[in-house]
Amino acid sequence: MTDDLLGDIEAQEQAVARVEELRAEIERHNRLYYDDAEPEISDREYDLLIAELSGLEKRFPDLATADSPTQRIGATVAGDFEQVTHEVPMLSISNTYSAEELREWDARTRKLLDVTGNIEYVVELKIDGVAVALRYDGGKLSYGATRGDGVRGEVITSNILTVKGVPAELPEKARKLGTHLEVRGEVYMEWADFERVRDEIEAAGGKKIANPRNFAAGSLKQKDSAETARRPLRVFLYAAGSTDFALPGTHDEFLKFIDGLGFPVNRERHVCASIEEVVAQTHYWEPRRKNLPYNTDGLVIKVNRRDFWPQLGVTSKSPRWVVAYKFSAEQAQTKLEDIQCQVGRTGTITPVAHLTPVFLAGSTISRATLHNEDEIKRLGILIGDQVIIEKGGDVIPKVVRPLESARTGKERPYVFPDKCPVCDSPLVRSEFEVAVRCENISCPGQVRERLLHFASRNAMDIEGMGDVLVAQVMEAGLVHTIAELYRLTVDQLAGLERMGRKSAQNVVEALEKSKQRPLHHFLFALGVRHIGASAAKLLAQRFENLDAIIGAPREELSQIEGFGEIMAESLHDFFANESNRALIEDLRTSGLRMPNTVYRPAGSALAPANSPFAGKTIVLTGTLAAMARDMAKERIEALGGKCTGSVSRKTDMLIAGEEAGSKLDKARELGVRVVGEEEFLKMLG
């Protein structure tokens, strides 16, 4: 074998590991961004991860997979709301960060269109909020939905109706044009409203809220729309979804058209005759964006002529007729008071900069992440330094550099600890990772993070078990392990500070309810390294129950599509550990059922060919006695059906439980097959 070839194989092996690592990391950030609305990194850093992965997939085409995050848009769709399939997918926008990149995009666009002269563009503000779709049929709002994963979103109609300016009905003139219109835009919250409501909620002992975007996202996903109505949400509409009539010829005219129908449209937009005018707009807005009453994270530049759009087409993730220009992160100067280490769920030690509080991009900053020991060295910061910090959009702020010229001689270097700051165990440095970890599985720092993860929405969804309560039950010595959560009693909880009997009862009920949580959520909740929500689902699809997963040899795990060696090993090691297996036994004794709602027996491909649901579009309505709605939905989907949120001519079947309302009427009106609970259960077999 020549050295060259050897080098290649080595490179390939390294690439395999890196690709897996990148995918796991990107999935994690996707969840943080889309599901939890708590991003940890900036869009730019995210783009760099995607670019690195995409580069490796190009260089080693064998490593490319259809479900790689480079091929998908992002979020997993959470389970609390009904879902709807977007007739026109809600794609994302690719980012640019400089005038140069904008000019390159313009050159590519002109080349594709075969235009030698200038192209007209519309420059809009990129509103930092939550994307929504509003669908009107016969002039009436039939649903409002989130973007979800871009293909399927969650139906949040009653919440959307509380957003200022969202019309429930369109004016007469709109109804004459066609039967349906879908408009898309961004729900957001103004700074002043955000600060007021945040302070009220925090003063009442509620959860800390990081920024207006997270708050808007959380508000739209309230189960009780009266709660959403208390949050002052607004919306700007800026795009069309599906329609059955011709829209105006240019985007600018389209915006005027929807403005004329009564939709809130942002007036801060500019039609530019060339890319140079677009660049001038970026210079105009960079210093002025601070003065806007809401947060923007950039500009959106769209080709004005809509007839050019189909000619330009789309890439796998974003249309070519639109591009975003991201503003550079806002910076501020402050003092690095101290560095303290935090312990994460898997024992990773993260150094955190403690700063003299300083106002930056809409909030007061007193902490910034330093990632790891190498980062502290790379930055060359000393405790006591004046430092420049920055914050891109809503992301956790970071330290950019020290101001060496401002040093007084009193600054001192930071010595990275060799013991865990929480439990004092010796820290372990692996030669393969920059991260340093505490390997004590019972370290209270880790336990706290694991409990929080276990209880979180996409995991066991234990309402009420957040930051504050977890800290309280740990401090009171009531809970040291996940299993002990299920031994909490109303009396114990009611004895905690600021906890009434009713709230205590609610928590115990939430714990009871979580015992029915499906297997894939449970697997995710365990917090096994590299096993995110998607990997957990793949496992549940492949294996009938938890025991089959625990007993699966590592080779079998690594053969699952979408799985790799690192994930297989991590899972295998987790279940090989005796205390982890004891934990699972303990949870079973407490009554956790872990029903598998997504299992697809081998050979069944996506669904048994004779499933009565295969290829059918199904709507669920009313209350089912035998199972929760999200469980019914998962069962249908596992059998090849597609669940949507509203009844239309495309609906094949309406599953009607008790107290079915307007959907049942509509189904009857349209002659859609209606199936009652008993029949439905028979169909599920």
Give the residue numbers annotated as catalytic, written as ranges.
126
Q: Of these, 63, 145, 255, 322, which contacts ligand IVH (CB under 6 A)? A: 322
The answer to whether 320 touches 300, Cβ cutoff 8 Å, is no
Name the amino acid, one letter, at 139: G
Contact call for residue 131 and ligand IVH (CB under 6 A): yes
Q: How far is the CB of 124 from ligand IVH (least distance, A)?
A: 4
Please identify the residue of the shown chain whose CB is closest to the bound ligand IVH.
Answer: 131
Tell me, rounded to whole angstroms, the distance of Cα 202 from its chain centroid: 24
- Give the x/- contact pattern for ligand IVH in 261-290, rule: CB under 6 A: ------------------------------
Specify the DSSP class assigned to residue 35: I
41 in contact with ligand IVH (CB under 6 A): no
Q: Which is nearer to ligand IVH, 217 or 647 (CB)?
A: 217
Nearest approach, Cβ of residue 160 and ligand IVH (Å): 15
Asked if residue 93 binds ligand IVH (CB under 6 A), the reply is: yes
Residue closer to ligand IVH (CB basis): 50 or 510:
50
Q: Which of 319, 445, 564, 612 binds ligand IVH (CB under 6 A)?
A: 319
Query: CA 408, 412, 413, 415: dihedral to nearest 10 degrees?
Result: -170
Query: Smaller CB distance to ligand IVH: residue 92 or 118?
Result: 92
Other Cβ atoms less than 10 A from the Cβ of 171: the count is 12
Interaction of residue 325 with ligand IVH, rule CB under 6 A: no
Within 10 angstroms of residue 36's Cβ, the number of other Cβ atoms is 16
DSSP string, 647-658: --TT--EEEE-B
- CA trace torsion 46, 52, 54, 55 (10° rounding): 160
* Shortest spacing between CB 282 and ligand IVH, in angstroms: 14
Residue 325 or 454 having the CB closest to ligand IVH: 325
Among residues 85, 92, 274, 648, which is the contact residue for ligand IVH, using CB under 6 A?
92
Q: Of the ranges 122-130, 359-367, 506-514, 655-663, which one interacts with ligand IVH (CB under 6 A)?
A: 122-130
Q: Which stretch binds ligand IVH (CB under 6 A): 12-20, 243-251, 319-327, 668-676?
A: 319-327
134 near ligand IVH, rule: CB under 6 A: no
Phi first, then psi, for residue 176 (nearest 5°) are: -75, -20
Q: Residue from 56, 78, 84, 127 that binds ligand IVH (CB under 6 A)? A: 127
Stretch that binds ligand IVH, among 123-131, 333-341, 411-419, 496-504 (CB under 6 A): 123-131
124 binds ligand IVH (CB under 6 A): yes
In 10 A of CB 359, how many CB atoms? 10
Give the pairing of strands 363-369 and 348-360: antiparallel
Residue 315: CB minimum distance to ligand IVH, A: 11
Helix H segments across 444-532?
444-455, 467-475, 482-485, 490-494, 501-514, 519-525
Ramachandran region, residue 562 (left: φ > 0; alpha: ψ -120 to 50; beta: rest): left
Query: Which H/E stretch holds residue 267?
Result: none
**Among 129, 133, 169, CA closest to 154:** 133
Q: Tell me the C-alpha distance between 204 and 201, whole Å.
A: 5
Considering Cα of 417, then 421, then 426, then 430, what sign does the dihedral take?
A: negative
Amino acid found at 273: A
Residue from 37, 77, 84, 91 that binds ligand IVH (CB under 6 A)? 91
From 125-133, 240-248, 360-368, 448-456, span contacting ligand IVH (CB under 6 A): 125-133
Instruction: Based on the shown chain and the rule CB under 6 A, indicate whether residue 239 belongs to the binding site for ligand IVH.
Output: yes
Q: Is 126 in the site for ligand IVH (CB under 6 A)?
A: yes
Q: Report which secondary-structure segment, H or E, holds 158.
A: helix 157-160
What would the x/- binding string for ligand IVH be over residues 175 to 194, using CB under 6 A? -----------x--------
Pairing of strands 95-96, 322-326: parallel
Task: Give the binding site for ligand IVH (CB under 6 A).
Answer: 91-93, 124, 126-127, 131, 186, 238-239, 300, 319, 322, 324
